[in-house]
Amino acid sequence: MPYVNIQITRGATREQRAELVRDVTNSLVRVLGKKPEHTHVVIQEIADDFWGYAGQLTDDWKKSREAAG
C-alpha cells in the first residue's frame, strides 16, 4: 500500500491539489504497477513562517525577493 506525503507551502487551490493526487497516483500505477485503490496521498500545507528556505523563513525570503525585483 503506497503512502505518499507531499509537503508544500500554503496557496494551492483545490483543483491543483486534486491534480497532484491524480498525477502521483497515476505515476505509481504506471511505474510500479500499484493499484489506485491502495494508494494514499496526503498533502500537507505549511504556513510560510513554518518553512525555511535559503537560511530564512520562507515568508521573509519571499519578501526579500519581492523587494529586489
For 13-40, the pLDDT digits (tens) are: 999 999 999 999 999 999 999 999 999 9
Give the CATH number of domain 3-68: 3.30.429.10
- The closest alpha carbon to 48, from 64, 66, 60, belongs to 60
pLDDT at 8 (0 to 100):
96
Q: Is residue 53 over pLDDT 90?
A: no
CB-based contact 44:12 (threshold 8 Å): no
pLDDT band at 69 (very low <50, low <70, confident <90, very high): confident
The pTM assigned to this predicted structure is 0.81
Average pLDDT, the chain: 95
Q: What angle (nearest 5°) sits at the alpha carbon of residue 45, between those of residues 5 and 29?
A: 30
For the chain, which residues make up each domain, given as ranges?
3-68
